[in-house]
Chains A and B, each alone.
Chain A
């Protein structure tokens, strides 16, 4: 039984290459390839030093407050199909695979990072997650942030700011770390630095011939925020990729803007299908792509708590209503990354992204004037061949259009 429990996580860990050599030479992606074991080591060391581990499962949860409280924020979103059968003992089958996989790790006690967590800070985003947390709270300490969903409403924002003030009190009470104003300010600067490095990496894809693929960019991400080694690795990867770009190392393909649901570690199948079929994912407007890193928290303001609340409340998740900001963001990204098509990924039973796809299709086809493909799937690979056919047909259409335009032009 013990062996079974750790399978999904250890497989994910073992998928990577050994960590980067201390001289900093070699593959720029090496540290990220073994990001999971690296993060596990980091969390173990932090815990041994007496720093609490705080599990998070959403980009709305402000890492700054957890870091300022002296704790380590660890993302616990599940990307493994293997934990889903266990999850389905308690959860309905017709639920988002990300929610089920995360819960499966919980039920199997299969994610060592979750097992280490002293507290989970979660939020009311989608109904699936919200109700899943109630089940998790039966056996784990969980604090729920109530995220209001009227994105443009002042009272909704005030409520959110209040939830974050309450979180500071909860962190102090449960973990004994009461963050000072200076502590919060320095956490803001550290998180801004991480966001800025990830933004720079993502921006490399704006090139006509980017030095990395969408999948490589997706892998350059740490599930623990603010790990000093990870920040060094972002810098190093940037340097090496810029040098590679200067040497003429480049990628090409049909330029794809991906949008929709997050693609957590282990669930990258559709990105691989897209890039395997001749596409290049130049931008991912989702929670594992640029969505959470486009805006920083304002530094040096008299009220850093307010600044944090503002940054996070502005995230354009489909749980918000109306969610105009997502379309504004997509327009901006289309200008910067010049995609030839939009592919929207929707995890099965993700109702909010599913319904919102109506607007995204309209935006792509009518406003941006590029083809749109919606892919609804889950973590099981059984539909890979069908998805591949649709993606290939999309690219044939894109190429057919550019041939026709060349002839006309």
Chain B
């Protein structure tokens, strides 16, 4: 039998298909970034199944996670992204003790229990200051993409200081810095530092090693090292950072099937 996980995130949909006997990742997909709808997520799922020539009838169970999980009609059940990322990271990086996950609109620190479960977690409140959406917003302001933001930041000698507590204040601050002549690379580096600082605050010194970095933001160059500095420990990027939620959901589907 095959089990599926769909991570309907706020900016991207992710799909994972796993064989339930040996827990092998058979196929995966990451959708185009943008505002995601349930229809788009289901289309991506069907496309992935077709592309990898997976026998549709062998798919026994589908678990949905992520921001849009409740809207997916095809899912047998839903599980929160916190539980799914924990399970997915443990599968990809079995030694992991802590997961730092930064997605489109959420950021979280998850402490693992050693068996793929969650011991404790913290998640950002209303504010988007520590999220992928915030980085995207800054990248737009600097006229580069999210990946370009990381490349730009690499050229900075002196990262700008930006208040980490509020995305709206931070944007105002960035406009102020740029109009006062700050270099775009220093602003880009400053923004990465501020997101990393925000995560360290969320972790309140409880992040245990090894720390694994997951979520789409882990793909931005320079973010992992900014996070390593803020947490004062080496942070490793998960081998498929965008897919940890979908893989976790598929693994949970295997367990429940």
Interface residues of A (CB under 8 A from B): 365, 371-372, 376-377, 382-383, 385-386, 389-390, 392-393, 396-397, 400-401, 404
Contacts and interface: CB of A to CB of B under 8 A. Distances in A.
Given A393-B83, A396-B83, A386 B126 contact: yes
A360 to B, nearest CB: 14
Interface stretch (B18-26, B114-122, B132-140, B237-245): B114-122
A112 B83 CA distance: 48
B183 to A, nearest CB: 33
B81 interface: yes
Contacts of A404: 113, 115, 117
B123 interface: yes
A397 B118 contact: yes
Nearest to A397: B118
A401 B120 CA distance: 11
A397 B83 contact: yes
A400 B123 contact: no
B118 A390 contact: no
B251 interface: no
Nearest to B81: A389
Contact of A396 (B80, B106, B119, B120): B80
Among A372, A390, A397, A404, the most chain B Cβ lie within 10 Å of the Cβ of A397
Nearest to A365: B120
Interface in B22-76: 67
B125 A376 contact: yes
A401 B117 contact: yes
Given A396-B82, A397-B83, A404-B115, A390 B120 contact: no
A385 B81 CA distance: 13
23 contacts: A371-B120, A376-B125, A383-B125, A383-B126, A385-B67, A386-B123, A389-B67, A389-B81, A390-B121, A393-B80, A393-B81, A393-B82, A393-B121, A396-B79, A396-B80, A396-B82, A396-B118, A397-B118, A397-B120, A400-B83, A400-B117, A404-B113, A404-B115
Interface of B: 67, 79-83, 106, 113, 115, 117-121, 123, 125-126
Contacts of B121: 390, 393, 397
A247 B83 CA distance: 38
Contacts of A389: 67, 80-82, 106, 123
Nearest to A376: B125
B80 A386 contact: no
Contacts of A385: 67
A392 B118 CA distance: 12
Given A396-B118, A397-B118, 18 more contacts: A371-B120, A376-B125, A383-B126, A386-B123, A386-B126, A389-B67, A389-B81, A390-B82, A390-B121, A392-B80, A393-B80, A393-B81, A393-B82, A393-B121, A393-B123, A396-B82, A397-B83, A400-B118
Among A386, A401, A404, the most chain B Cβ lie within 10 Å of the Cβ of A386
A171 to B, nearest CB: 43
Contacts of A390: 82, 121, 123
Contacts of B82: 389-390, 393, 396
A386 B83 contact: no
Given A392-B80, A396-B79, A382 B118 contact: no
A400 B94 CA distance: 18
A397 B117 contact: yes
Contacts of B117: 397, 400-401, 404
A239 B126 CA distance: 43
A319 to B, nearest CB: 23
Contacts of A386: 106, 123, 125-126
Nearest to B85: A393
Contacts of B67: 385, 389
A275 to B, nearest CB: 17
Nearest 9 Cβ contacts at the A-B interface: A393-B82, A393-B80, A400-B117, A396-B83, A397-B118, A392-B80, A383-B126, A389-B80, A390-B123
